Amino acid sequence: RQLYGVKRWGLDYFGVGADGFVSVTVPTSSGQKTVSMQDVIAGLADRELSMPVMLRIENLISDRVVKLNEGFRDAISTSGYNGVYKSVFPIKVNQQKHVVDSIAAAGDPFQHGFEAGSKPELMVALATTPSPESLIVCNGYKDEEFLDLGLQARRLGYQIFFVIESLAELALIIRKAKKWNVEPLVGCRIKLSTKVDGHWADDSGDRSLFGLTARETIAAVDMLKQADMLKCLQMLHFHLGSQLTNIRNVRDGVREACRYYIGLVDVGAPMGYLDLGGGLAVDYDGTFSTQPYSRNYDLNEYCVDVVESVMNSMDQHQIPHPVLVSESGRWTVAPTSVLLFNVLSVTDFEPMPIESEADQEFCQPIGDLFDAMENLHVRRVQENFNDANYYRDQLRELFRSGRIQLRELAFGENLYLSILNRIAFEILPQLSRVPAELTSLHDQLADIYYGNFSVFQSLPDAWAIEQIFPTMPIHRLDEEPTRTAIIADLTCDCDGKLDRFTDEVGEPSRTLKLHPLKNDQPYYLGVFLVGAYQETLGDLHNLFGDTNVASISIDDDGKVQFVEEIHGDSISNVLSYVEYQPQELIQRFRSRAEAAFSQGSISATERQEMLRLYRESMQGYTYFEV
């Protein structure tokens, strides 16, 4: 049985049940409960939530928040660290109200706060932060309105930190603070020289986009001193990058940041908070390695390394241990959402049966392809492959120059495909060493499964940064998958595909093992660990809009409860996003139908039927409706 490496990346949340469906195991107040995706699929159908669906699992949101806080709490208590830990969730990682509300609820006992990088995010944070002890950390560029709002909110008791990204911003903060007579909490974001491994390696170190250099940090101190506001400088902030694959980078970064922290204490800033930014990574490919979509550490090691590194650095200078803050977004929410979609059809690359050649006249390249087929042999496989390509190219040349017809080309192409299939499935398995050129032959012959979703809307990182997300069927897992496939989406775009996977043993693979479609039976696939960044970064390519969303919670009796259903964008919604007025479009179509009716080319009933279809489609789902 193919289990898609779920044990490696599934975090014990996802598994395979005896019913052949993916199972979901979550903590509840009466212990761990496991449900089958079969119940989820049935519940979606009952609610007429058609595929594709973004499935959110609420229990997992709370579990992640609890685990993160407990991870730091344990590391703090075992190491004897004298400070506390406060988490803040970066809203940009998943701004959906339900997610942010669930984080606030689960984070309440831990004084969990939020990180805001823009005015809208600040407004969400102000309205959602659970306790007055929770932090709101404001990163990014802040205009006057942003600062006014944040400063005024200080009066309400919010612990809002303005993390400064530039000296110009600090000048504005000082001016505004004086104007409103409010003492702001100020943090300095510093640019570390530590380089990190992984996808964002080039943007780390001296070339990182954000943060103050050592020169600018000292200039900031001088500006604050001059304004008699050095007492406001209480936080040191750094962010090494997202998805930090190598724990050694984390240690190096923390040690360097501590040097800045100590330096700021030395020049008279009160300090008190050390914000590590984000970066706590997710093992998307399940390899537990420094591959770009994995990491070579777990939560426990991360917390222990951070806590001990900070403690050692501070102790050497007899500086009180700061409050540790982290902005772990990806780690918190990635596992909490699964994209579910159905497969619409499959294209395979198997040859059709070859008709007898006896009574047919063929051009030379087809005769040569027949000979090449006869000559297939384990010891000549590279030569056989070269010959097949050579004669296929000759055949195409004859077609291009008009010397053979389409039917003959089709016959020859089918012959060529038969040769490749025999090489791939009969000859290569007999070889101990496959010639380099033939190693990707299986991939070239892989089926294309057409999925009812848009990569650009629901999995933008799969396209933009070639990120790997674990992908597998969510049922029929008690059957051996016999097909080898890639997945194409509904957008007619060459980039709209999933063709990067990790195989059963953790090796990269361009294809995925899938089951053959069965007549009239739906085939559902799931893409896992998609709760971070994907919904927000998604776009309207081909005008495929937001998918349906279902939030489920597994209750103490182990029953699936649908706690929220959001119907995805209608066609009318997405058209209005790109400035069309649906009513005007209906009007324009009506005029065309009226004209056709006046000319007698359609009847009154046909006209009405067309207008009804057009109007109804406006309210329909942008995806394929079964």
Contact 457, 545 (CB under 8 A): yes
The residue among 328 and 457 lying less far from ligand PLP, judged by its C-beta, is 328
Q: How far is the CB of 93 from ligand PLP (least distance, A)?
A: 5
Does 69 participate in binding ligand PLP (rule CB under 6 A)?
no
- The least CB distance from residue 299 to ligand PLP, in Å, is 12
- Answer whether 257's CB lies under 8 Å from 236's CB: yes
236 is an interface residue for ligand PLP by CB under 6 A: no
- The span of 36-44, 324-332, 423-431, 479-487 binding ligand PLP (CB under 6 A) equals 324-332
Give the closest residue to 24 by CA, choosing from 14, 16, 33: 14
Q: Which residue has the tokens 């449900």?
A: 35
The answer to whether residue 329 forms part of the interface with ligand PLP (CB under 6 A) is: yes
- The least distance separating ligand PLP from the CB of residue 242, rounded to whole angstroms, comes to 3
Nearer to ligand PLP, 89 or 523 (CB): 89
Among 83, 130, 277, 481, binds ligand PLP (CB under 6 A): 277
Nearer to ligand PLP, 239 or 515 (CB): 239
Tell me: cis bond preceding 320? Omega within 30 of 0 counts: no
Site string for ligand PLP, 86-125 (x = CB under 6 A): ----x--x---------------------x----------
Smaller CB distance to ligand PLP: residue 282 or 304? 282
**What is the token pair recorded at 620?**
């329909």
* Residue 147 backbone class (left: φ over 0; alpha: ψ -120 to 50; beta: rest): alpha
CB of 140 to ligand PLP, least distance (A): 8
288's CB contacts (< 8 A; 6+ apart) are: 8, 294, 295, 296
> What count of Cα atoms within 13 Å lies in the side-chain half-sphere of residue 321?
18
Is position 278 an interface residue for ligand PLP (rule: CB under 6 A)? Answer: yes
Task: Examine residue 328 and tell whether it contacts ligand PLP (CB under 6 A).
Answer: yes
Cβ 623 vs Cβ 340: under 8 Å: no
- Whole-angstrom distance, CA of residue 464 vs CA of residue 541: 13
Burial of 66 (0-12, 13-18, 19+ CB in 10 A): middle
Element (H, E) at 618: helix 604-619
Could you tell me if 42 and 21 are in contact, meaning their C-beta atoms sit under 8 angstroms apart?
no
**What percent of the residues of the chain are helix, what percent strand, and what percent coil, each to the nearest 5?**
45, 20, 40
* Bridge partners for 53 per DSSP: 340, 548
* Binding track, positions 134-173, relative to ligand PLP; x by CB under 6 A: -----x----------------------------------
Instruction: Work out whether 283 is an interface residue with ligand PLP (CB under 6 A).
Output: no
Question: Mind telling me the catalytic residues?
Answer: 492
Tell which positions 27-46 bind ligand PLP, by CB under 6 A. Answer: none
Of 32-40, 252-260, 321-329, 593-601: span binding ligand PLP (CB under 6 A): 321-329
* Beta carbons of 57 and 35 less than 8 angstroms apart: no
Per rule CB under 6 A, count of chain residues that contact ligand PLP: 17
Binding of residue 296 to ligand PLP (CB under 6 A):
no
CB 237 within 8 A of CB 277: yes
Specify the residue, 278 or 412, whose C-beta has the smaller distance to ligand PLP.
278
Q: Is 561 helix (H, G, I), strand (E, B) or coil?
A: strand
Closest CB to ligand PLP among 139 and 467?
A: 139
Closest CA to 426 of 441, 436, 414: 441
Segment lying near ligand PLP (by CB under 6 A), choices 70-78, 236-244, 462-470, 547-555? 236-244
Q: Does 239 bind ligand PLP (CB under 6 A)?
A: yes
Instruction: Catalog residues that contact ligand PLP under the rule CB under 6 A.
Output: 90, 93, 115, 139, 239, 242-243, 277-280, 327-331, 532
